[in-house]
Amino acid sequence: MSKLSLAGEWKLRGEFMDVTADRCAEVLVHLNAMPPKPTIPGYLTEENMTEEEREMYLKEPDPKFTVNTALAMHPYPSKTGYIPMTVPGDVTTALIDNGVIEEPFLKDNTKKSIWIKELSWWLVKEFDITEEMLNEDIVRLNIEMLDFNADILVNGIPAGHQENTFCAFSADIKRFLHVGTNQIVIRLTSGMELNYPHDTVSYYCASDNAICDQRVYTRKPQFTYGWDWCQPVPTCGIGRSIEIEAFSGAQVIASRVDTLSLSGNDAEIEFHFEIEKSNMVQSAETELEYELSIDGKTAYTGHQTLMLVGGINFAQERVVLKDAKLWWPNGYGAQNLYTFTARCTARGITHEAKPKKIGIRTLSIDFSKLPDESRNFFFKINGTRIFCKGGNWVPTDSIYLRTPDENYKKLVSEGAAAHFTMFRMWGGGTYEPDCFYDYCSEYGILLMHDFMYACAFYPDQKDSFLYEAEREAEYQTKRLAHYPCMAVWTGNNEIAESYTDWFPGMLQPERYWGDQIFNYIQPRAVQHNSPLIPYMPSTPYFGERSNTTEEGDVHAWTYFGRDSKTRFKFSYELEAFDRFPARFSSEYGFFGAQMESTVRRYLDGEEMSFNNPSWKHHGEFERKRGAIDGVINRHLTEFSTLDERGYLLYSGIMQGLLYAEMAEAIRQKSYGAGDLIWMYNDCWPETGWTIIDYYLTRKVSFYFLKRAFDTKKLIIRKADGGAVVTVINETPDELRTTICVGTQTFDGAHNSVLLTKDLTVAPHSWQQFHVAAEEPAADGYFVVSADGFETADSLRAYYREYTIPESDAVIESVEKDGSDLLVTVRANVFTPFAYLMTSDDRVHYSDNYFKLYPGEAKTIRVENCDETPTLYTAATMHA
C-alpha cells in the first residue's frame, strides 16, 4: 500500500455561482496567472480600485438607487488569477492570509465576510502518480471533510459529488489517472445558494442571528448560519485528511474492542473487525493478527486464518483478558489505555492498520425507580455511579476547519483541571477530529454525544435527505465506536422537547418532522456499530414529556424563565436551586463577561467602552446586558456605578456564583447524577455562558466551577433545626478525616464548634448527615471543615444583603517552586472574593476569586510565572 497526501498548497479562485463544474475549462484558463495582490473575490477596496472605480464608488452616494450602487454592495470575482490556499483549511482563512479580508472576529468584521457564501470556490492542485501506484488493484481518493456542496474533477473528468460535511468522500479514481503529473479540481460552495424551500419544516427553524432558516436541508455544522450566541460566518473548505491511497490485498478498515463484563481482575472482551479485500472476483486466504499492549508489555495476541471474498468481510473473537487494567473517568481512577494494533496478510502482502487507543470499561445507565415513582439517571462505569460534571462543547471556532490540534488538547485538559467528567457534544456543531476523542479518552472525559441536528425539524419526507442521514449515522458511529470516552449517543438537541413544549395552539407542527432519523435510522446504526453504547432519541429525553425533572436529563431553561414550581425568578431567589428536582441537568447557563485582555484583543485598538458598537457586536446587546446587570444589582452591587473594568469583574463573579449554586444544589441530592453547564467553550469572542473564552483564556467563573466540581467536596446548607452536611469522595481512595461543624461571624470574633467527629469516607461515595443547632446570627454562618477538603459555609450569594467588614487580606509569603510561585494569603475577617492578579490576566492559578475565612491561610500556586502577583478583593478591584 502507498499513500500520497494532497495536503499543502493549492490554488484558489472565486467564481459566480453559475460557473458550475461543467465549465471547469473556463476556470482553468486563468491558472497560471498568480498576481501578487489579486483583486480576488470580495468587495472592492480603495487599494485595488482604479480611478474610474474610485469615482464610481467613493463619491457621495446618489439619493437614487442605481445599478452602480447596487453592484458596489455585492462581491465581484477577479477576472484574472488565483491565490494560494493551504489545505486542509477554509476559504475564509485563505482570504485572510492573502489580505483580501480582515480577521472576521475583530471589531465587527463578521459583517464583512458574509459575501463569501455568494460565490463558488475553485481549488486546484497538481500531483504526481507513479507506475507502482497504478499497478495496485485500487487507487482511491479519500477526503475526510468537504464543506459543503462539492464537485470533484480529476484530470477534467468528474470523479464525484458530495453534499454532506459529516461523511468522508471516497472514490476509486484509478481509471482517471496516468503516470506523471495529474490535476485535481474541487469546486465548493457554502450550500446557502441551493435555494431550499421555505416550507412547513424550515418554518420552525428561526434563530437569533441566523441568516438562513433553510439550514435544515444542509448537512453541515448548523451554527455556521448564526445562533443566539454567535454571528453567522459562512464556511467553505476541505477539512482534515485528503490523500490518494493505492493498495492491493486486504486491510482492516474498522475495528473496536467491546468490554462485555468484569469478573475480579479479569475482563471478558470481544474484538470486532471489518476487512476489505481489493480483488472483487477472487477469494484469498488471509492471516489476521492483532495485539493489545499497555505500558510497553503485550497483554493479548490474537490470530485468525480467514477466507476472504472481494469487498467487505467481518471477523470477531471473544476472549478473557487477564489482570485487566480498567479505564476510569477523570477523578475516579486511572485512564488506562491499551494500544490496539492489527494487520492483514493476503497473497504475501501485509497491511498494518493505524494503531488505536482503547479502554477496558463497562458502561450502563441506571434508570431504576425511586420511592416517589421518579427514576434515576446515573451513568455507571465499571459498575460504579459517576457524577457527570462538565459542560456543553461547541465547535472551537466558527471557522472550525482552522482549529489546530493543540487547541483541542488545551480545552480538554482545562476541562479535566476543572474536575470535569463529561462534555456534551451539542447537536448544532460538528463531529470533531480524531485527536479530540483521543484527548477525551486520555483525560477521562466522558461524552454525551448528539448527532448533529439541533433546534429545528428536519425534512425526513425527502428520500435524498434520509439517504444522507443514514450515511452519516453509519460513518460516525463506526468511526467513534472504539473510544472509551463515548458514553451515550443522543439523536438531536431539543427537538423532541420542541415538539411537545415550544409551539402552542395553532403553531403546533402537524407531525414530528425528523422522527424517521432520530427514532429509526440512528438507533439502528448505533446498535450495528457500537451496541454497548446507549442511545437516546433526543436530549432532553425520558418521561411523559421529554423535558421533565422526574426522569432522564433536563434542560433547565424552562424552569429558569418563569415562576415555576421551583420559583427561580431569573436566579434572584437562590434557594430555588435546592428546590429544583432535576437529577441530571444537561443544559443550564448564566452569562458572564470575558477577561479584559480578550476584550481588548477583539476590539483591536478601539476604545473599550459600553457604547462602542464593536463591544455590543460581541454579545453585549441589550437583552443580555439586562440579565447580567439584574443579578449584579440583586446580589453584589449597584451595577450603574460600575465602569467597564468593574463590569467585567463583577459579571464574572456573578456568573461563577450562579454556576456554583446550581452545581452544589444537584450534588447535594441523593439522586443528583449530572450537572453540565451551557456552555463550556466559545466559537468566537463574546460575552456569553462559557468559562473558557475563544482565545482559551480562563474566565473568572472558571475557578468557581472548579471548586464546585472538586472530587473531594463538602457542602453545608441551613435546614430546619440546624444544618445538613454533604460529604462527597469521588476518588478511588478511602479517606480518614476529622470533620468539624460550627458557626463563625464575619469579623471572626465569635466562633463555635457544634460537632467534631472522625469520619471514614469510602471510595466513590456520597453521604449526608444533619447537625442540630440554632440558626446563626445575622452576621454569622455555618462552616464545615475537614482535613483533605476545602472549607465550606452555608452562605448563599446574597452578598449585597450582608454587612461584611472591609477585608484586611494580605500576602504572607511568596516562594519559588520551579517555574511556579507559591503565594500564601491570609485575612482576619471573612473575605468573599479575594484574587491574585499579574499584568497578564491569562496566567493560571490553582485557585482564584476565592473566599478567605477569618484566620485561615491559603496557598495558591501561580503557574509558569516570575512576576509576583498583587492581591485584591472585589471591593477594591485592580488598578
Termini Cα distance of the chain: 63
Q: What share of the chain is helix, strand, coil (3-state, %, to 5)?
A: 25, 35, 45
Spatial CA neighbour of 774 closest among 803, 750, 752: 752
Determine the pLDDT at residue 80: 65
Pairing between β-strand 138-147 and β-strand 237-247 as defined by DSSP bridges: antiparallel
pLDDT for the residue 509: 87
Confidence at residue 483, expressed as pLDDT on a 0 to 100 scale: 99
pLDDT at 205: 79
What single-letter DSSP state applies at residue 748?
A: S
For the chain, residues with pLDDT lower than 70 are 33-80, 195, 206-210, 212, 561-571, 876-879
Structure confidence at residue 78 (pLDDT):
67
- Kindly state the greatest CA–CA separation across the chain: 90
Q: State residue 555 phi and psi, 5-degree precision.
A: -100, 120
Determine the Cα–Cα distance for residues 557 and 667; give it in Å rounded to an integer. Answer: 19
Whether domain 805-879 has CATH 2.60.40.10: yes
Q: Could you tell me where in the chain the CATH 2.60.120.260 domains are found?
A: 2-42+77-243
Do 685 and 594 touch, CB atoms closer than 8 A?
yes
- Give the length of the chain: 879
Strands 311-321 and 266-277: antiparallel
Strands (E), 309-415: 311-321, 338-346, 349-352, 356-358, 363-366, 378-381, 384-386, 388-393
Nearest residue to 187 via CA among 217, 219, 151, 214: 151
Note the pLDDT of residue 732.
98
Q: Rg of the chain over CA atoms, in angstroms?
A: 29
Residues of the chain with CATH 2.60.40.10: 248-358, 805-879
Whole-number Å distance between alpha carbons of 508 and 204? 10
Of 3.20.20.80, 2.60.40.420, 3.40.50.10140, 2.40.50.100, the CATH number of 386-401+409-553 is 3.20.20.80
Is the separation of the CB atoms in 741 and 723 below 8 Å? yes
Q: Residue by residue, what is the 3-state secondary structure of 589-653?
A: CCCECCCHHHHHHHHCCCCCCCCCHHHHHCCCCHHHHHHHHHHHHHHCCCHHHCCHHHHHHHHHH
DSSP 97-138: HTTSS--TTSTTGGGGSGGGGGSEEEEEEEEEE-HHHHTSSE
From the number of C-beta atoms within 10 Å of its C-beta (0-12, 13-18, 19+), residue 126 rates as: exposed
2-42+77-243: CATH class = mainly beta
Q: What is the pLDDT of residues 169-209, one digit of tens each?
A: 999 999 999 999 999 999 999 887 776 777 778 778 766 66
**Residue type, position 529, single letter:** N
| Closest CA relative to residue 161, chosen from 23, 21, 27 | 21
Which residue shows C-alpha cell 465547535?
395
**Res 388: pLDDT:** 99
Cα angle value 11/14/15 (rounded, 5°)? 130
Question: pTM of the prediction?
Answer: 0.94
All cell numbers assigned to 165: 460535511
Separation between Cα atoms, residue 110 and residue 108, nearest integer Å:
6
3-state SS assignment for residue 286: strand
| Measured distance CA(36)–CA(186) in Å, rounded | 23
From the list 207, 215, 170, the residue with the least C-alpha distance to 190 is 215
CATH architecture designation of domain 248-358: Sandwich (2.60)
Write out pLDDT tens, residues 338-363: 999 999 999 999 999 999 999 999 99
Please give the C-alpha separations between residue 668 and each of 577, 661, 674, 763, in angstroms, as whole numbers: 11, 11, 11, 17
Angle at Cα 760 formed by Cα 754 and Cα 761, nearest 5°?
100
- Report the pLDDT value the prediction gives residue 214, as an integer from 0 to 100: 79
Which are the contacts of 527, defined by CB distance < 8 A and separation ≥ 6? 535
The torsion defined by the Cα of 272, 278, 284 and 288, in degrees rounded to 10, comes to -30
Apex 798 CA angle, 795 and 801, nearest 5: 110
Q: How far is the C-alpha of 359 from the C-alpha of 339, rounded, in Å?
A: 9
H or E element at residue 706: helix 701-708
**Rounded to whole angstroms, how far apart are CA atoms 142 and 162?**
12
How far is it, in rounded angstroms, from Cα 120 to Cα 188?
A: 6
Q: Which of 459, 456, 527, 523 is nearest to 490 (CA)?
A: 523
What stretch(es) of the chain map to CATH 3.20.20.80?
A: 386-401+409-553
Instruction: Show the beta-strand stretches assigned E in 148-283.
Output: 149-154, 157-162, 169-172, 180-189, 237-247, 250-263, 266-277
Q: Spell out the residues 6+ positions from residue 822 whose beta carbon is closer than 8 angstroms to its own.
A: 813, 814, 815, 816, 859, 860, 861, 862
CA distance 424 to 390: 8
Starting at the edge strand found earlier in the chain, the sheet holding 250-263 runs: 250-263, 266-277, 311-321
Helix (H) or strand (E) holding 812: strand 810-817
| Cα 519 to Cα 63: distance, rounded to the nearest angstrom | 56
